[in-house]
A and B are shown apart, each in its own frame.
Chain A
């Protein structure tokens, strides 16, 4: 049963990774998490970021932007948060959420890795 866990552990190998979660967008529940810790509750982050994705999708609907979100980047003082909705065949309604340390992460490389991990999950 390690397949999803493997993908998440893989994401934790990304330079500067703090935590990663695979989130069900309709319920806001983290189906799987890796990393995180006492001061970074990935389950809370998952639920909250569901609202971010929903708000963005709604805005796009209102603007009649008929496009899909590849990823959403949120830049904090010391962290990057990267949200990547899954586009696979039955993966509609899931997104990957990755928190990175800003001083150690390479954003372009991290996005590249996320794309690869998504392909491996193939959901």
Chain B
């Protein structure tokens, strides 16, 4: 974006961030390397963090159905120049202030987990550069670091095996136990883990926080239900760039990996995936359409009226409120 930034240097992002915070800087820290990302500071406090491994505020709000894609896009287009996208959404009555705060706060901690754990890499600070979202909440760098290390420990308590974090994952063909109980979130992960998607790809696809996805991936791995599908296709880049193009092909391969046979998988999968895909269309994230081209043509056909029906129900319920 800006060419006025300070010269790139090799440093540990968290260390540089502490220095910038101590100096009370305002601007944007660009982090390259494995888990690239940006950290935005206002007066030495963090106002926004973005990472390809964690869905951003827009993705969270639109994938969950809280905001329509066009509402979000309109706010970004109108408010980006003045760094007031967040305020605009509240002023126009699309979101409650507290709702926006919580969403941004969650996204900050989520993305920070990936950006701050990056080892020394190329970093660049652009002073004065503000994020288009504007000032919604601010977090102290110290709090961010404490939480990041707590999250790292928590992850290892679940399952001390980080190889599944960045690699494509796939369900095991045969569960190691007779009876398996999964939460809805875990089921969605198992259904969409096709041996090509990494945890980061899955979190973007499902619009679920990156750290929450990592936790579930580790839990499923610990239970022996999900395993590393092999070396990552792009040298540990968390598959941010190369995974989406594979999705068309991977959908065909899905039934081979299904743990419970093709039918339930296809039925559980189609509405979810189609809905996620619909919301994502025209989104700011570059994403090829993950068309579910499953073996039984019923999935996509069913999914369309389902979606419309849900939309009508939601509108009706909102009218009652």
Contacts and interface: CB of A to CB of B under 8 A. Distances in A.
A3 interface: yes
Contact of B103 (A57, A90, A120): A90
A29 B96 contact: no
A89 interface: yes
Interface of B: 61, 64, 66, 96-99, 101-103, 105-106, 109-110, 135-138, 147, 150-151, 154, 181, 183, 209, 211-212, 215
Contacts of B96: 3, 121-123
Nearest to A62: B181
A27 interface: yes
19 contacts: A3-B96, A3-B97, A4-B98, A24-B109, A27-B211, A28-B154, A29-B147, A32-B105, A47-B150, A58-B181, A58-B183, A61-B181, A62-B181, A89-B66, A90-B64, A90-B66, A93-B212, A123-B96, A123-B99
A98 interface: no
Contacts of B212: 26-27, 93
A123 B98 contact: yes
Interface residues of A, number: 27
Please list the 4 inter-chain residue pairs (A to B) with the smallest Cβ-Cβ separation, ordered nearest first.
A26-B212, A3-B98, A3-B97, A90-B66
Interface string A51-74: 000000110011000000000000
B99 A26 contact: no
A31 interface: yes
A22 B103 CA distance: 13
A1 B101 contact: yes
